[in-house]
């Protein structure tokens, strides 16, 4: 049972979030409250549906990691134990990284190195956000191990957090509708591999070059390219880049940026 002091605190949080007309400010209030409650250094909203793994930018906004490391992590994000466990089980109950590992989703030595490179820790907790859109969750990363008391608190707060998260999503959709933002049919979000191929296209990389960079075959690169063309309603590289820029998937100067190679691990990374 949530303590009276915690309950009062979260009533104030709910009031603050619901009173915010701006989605970004409302989300900041919600995530700041979660971070305070669970001693989190970083929170990421994840989605691991059939179309691939996606996530929002990490909170707080100042959290960052080298672009090359982040790209490698994104390419194998579905193998991160929290994400893999959520996708495999569809569980609606909060769980820790230790729980996921106990269920057989092991964290490899290279994954631990990548966690360190991202500035994270192995002290991670997933707070699922059950809903019609798929197995979404907040991934909470802290400085110390999450135990039974933390999981119990997460279970108690979960219904309220889910409701506030949906409110934030609704505010965001209302703003998009008011601004007249159009999303291409069939694709509000590219898969991680498609995003990396898109960035390669914007940088002028060849299919063979992208295949070497991503560790996949040229044929697979062509397949990702076909999929992103369809999602962006593009017919060639230029129209794909221009469409992606309009949709915010690439910065306006993206077509001129280089796609610098990054170190590849001896084994595929498997972490956030």
At 150-162, the pLDDT tens digits run 999 999 999 999 9
**CA 219 – CA 141 distance, rounded (Å):** 37
Q: Cβ neighbours of residue 106 under 8 Å, at least 6 residues apart?
A: 81
Higher pLDDT, 142 or 120: 142
- Structure confidence by residue, pLDDT tens digits, 59-103: 786 666 666 556 656 666 666 788 888 888 888 999 999 999 999
Q: Which pLDDT band, with edges at 50, 70 and 90, does 148 fall under?
A: very high
How much is the average pLDDT of 47-65? 65
pLDDT score recorded for residue 54: 64
pLDDT score recorded for residue 44: 86
Q: Let me know the angle formed at the C-alpha of 12 by 10 and 17, rounded to the nearest 5 degrees.
A: 90
Which homologous superfamily does the CATH classification assign to the domain defined by 4-179?
GAF domain (3.30.450.40)
Joined tokens for residue 221: 């690169």
For residue 259, count other CB atoms closer than 10 A to its CB.
Answer: 17
How much is the average pLDDT of 116-136? 85
What is 192-256's CATH topology? Answer: Arc Repressor Mutant, subunit A (1.10.10)
Lowest-confidence region among 39-53, 131-145, 200-214, 249-263: 249-263
**CA 116 – CA 135 distance, rounded (Å):** 26
* Residue in this structure with the two tokens 């907040």, named with its chain if needed: 138
Report the mean per-residue pLDDT for the chain.
80
* Closest to 56 measured CA to CA, from 169, 144, 154, 158: 169
Higher pLDDT, 255 or 148: 148
Q: Does 36 have pLDDT greater than 90? A: yes
- 133 beta partners: none
Joined tokens for residue 21: 């007309």
Q: Cβ neighbours of residue 97 under 8 Å, at least 6 residues apart?
A: 81, 82, 107, 122, 123, 124, 125
User: So where are the chain's domains?
Assistant: 4-179, 192-256
**CA 237 – CA 160 distance, rounded (Å):** 44
């Amino acid at each position: 049972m949530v303590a009276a002091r915690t309950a009062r605190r979260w009533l104030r949080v709910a009031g603050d979030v619901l009173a915010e007309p701006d989605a970004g400010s409302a989300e900041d209030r919600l995530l700041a409250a979660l971070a305070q409650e669970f001693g989190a250094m970083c929170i990421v909203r994840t989605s691991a549906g059939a179309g691939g793994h996606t996530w929002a930018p990490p909170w707080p906004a100042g959290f960052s990691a080298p672009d090359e490391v982040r790209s490698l992590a994104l390419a194998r994000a579905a193998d991160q134990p929290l994400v893999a466990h959520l996708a495999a089980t569809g569980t609606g109950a909060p769980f820790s990284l230790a729980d996921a590992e106990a269920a057989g989703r092991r964290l490899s030595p290279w994954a631990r190195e990548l966690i360190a490179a991202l500035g994270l820790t192995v002290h991670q907790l997933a707070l699922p956000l059950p809903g019609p859109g798929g197995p979404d969750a907040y991934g909470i990363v802290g400085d110390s191990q999450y135990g039974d008391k933390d999981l119990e608190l997460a279970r108690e707060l979960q219904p309220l957090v889910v409701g506030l998260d949906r409110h934030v999503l609704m505010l965001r959709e209302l703003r998009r509708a008011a601004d007249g933002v159009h999303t291409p049919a069939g694709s509000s979000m590219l898969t991680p591999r498609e995003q990396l191929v898109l960035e390669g296209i914007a940088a002028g990389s060849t299919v063979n070059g992208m295949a070497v960079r991503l560790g996949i075959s040229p044929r697979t690169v062509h397949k990702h390219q076909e999929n992103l063309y369809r999602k962006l309603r593009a017919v060639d590289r230029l129209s794909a880049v221009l469409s992606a820029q309009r949709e915010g998937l690439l910065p306006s100067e993206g077509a001129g940026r280089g796609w610098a190679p990054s170190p590849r691990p001896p084994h595929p990374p498997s972490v956030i």
